[in-house]
Amino acid sequence: MIPKTPLPLVSYSGPDPTYSLDEDDGYTQLEAAYGQPIPGAARAALSQIADNYLADRRAELARQTWRDVAGNLTPLNQAAVALWELAYGAPPASGDASYVFDSIVDQLLDRDAIPIRPQRGDLVILRPEHEPAEWERFDDYYQPPEVAFGFRLTREVLQNLAMALRVAANRASSEIEKRAAEAVTSNSWTAQQRLLLRVTDWARDFGLPFGAYDTVTELPTKFSDFLRLLLQLAPDDYREKELTSGAVAARLRRTRQEAKTRKREQVNQQTEM
């Protein structure tokens, strides 16, 4: 099974989604959940943090994995198997039927050719004087005449194609497995973890409470309620469903502990250097 390690690239189109905290009573709801007024400068900073979260979350959702790459092997494998069976498969039970079928197919294949264009790199040559010997473009060394080129799809060519396609499918599978195994599972923060840490810093910078749990009751604080609401005010496609203040408080505590651990490890590594 190919691991679900993420690809090193991600692509999507269109503008990033944004929060609308200044509309639809967003800040009114947040202040009620927080039990704290949020002044103008703090609002501007929080809106930027929230929009950055959506950009991170969008990239996170769009990023595919090496397992997704492996899923594209299916049609290549199917084509390789089908062509192999056609070129090398056992003949039909009737020898006469097989002979007639082959003669019909050979006649049809012999009528036309598969066009190729040397100027496009379709025609290659093997130059043994190079070490190691490699297939290279014909037009890199010779000027092809101004005539049409092509090849006939004979039975032997079909067999060569079947062999080449099967080898390509096997090599592609091995290469995907190799790259997936070599890919380092990223230990970077998730979009939500970054949001939790950034909003914690935001609250600290503006002198607002940021505890995850009440130190007396050990119940989630108003800050956890505030974070839960902030996450649920995200656009529908990026919103977490059924999220409780208790779940947010637990994630916040774990994320902060992990941040401390990473910082300590980083300091130790720098000290050792």
Mean pLDDT score of the chain, rounded to an integer?
88
Residue range 238-256: mean pLDDT, rounded = 93
Does residue 93 surpass a pLDDT of 70?
Answer: no
What's the confidence (pLDDT) of residue 94? Answer: 61
Cβ neighbourhood burial of 109 (10 Å; 0-12, 13-18, 19+): middle
Cα four-point dihedral sign 247, 250, 256, 257 = negative
* Per-position b or e across 27-56, b if 16+ CB within 10 A of its CB: bebbeebbebebeeebbebbbebbeebbeb
Q: How far out from the chain centre does Cα 182 lie?
A: 15
What's the confidence (pLDDT) of residue 19? Answer: 92
pTM listed for this prediction: 0.71
Does residue 51 surpass a pLDDT of 90?
Answer: yes
Q: How confident is the model at residue 173 (pLDDT cuts 50, 70, 90)?
A: very high
Residue range 209-216: mean pLDDT, rounded = 96
Phi, psi at 128, each rounded to 5°: -65, -20
Q: How far apart are CA 9 and CA 17, in angstroms?
A: 20
What's the confidence (pLDDT) of residue 271? Answer: 78
- DSSP letter at 207 equals T
Phi-psi region of 27 (alpha: psi -120 to 50; beta: other; left: phi over 0): alpha
Give the contacts of 248 (CB within 8 A, at least 6 positions apart): 220, 224, 227, 228, 231
Percent of the chain whose predicted confidence (pLDDT) is above 90: 49
Residue range 183-194: mean pLDDT, rounded = 82
What's the confidence (pLDDT) of residue 212? Answer: 97
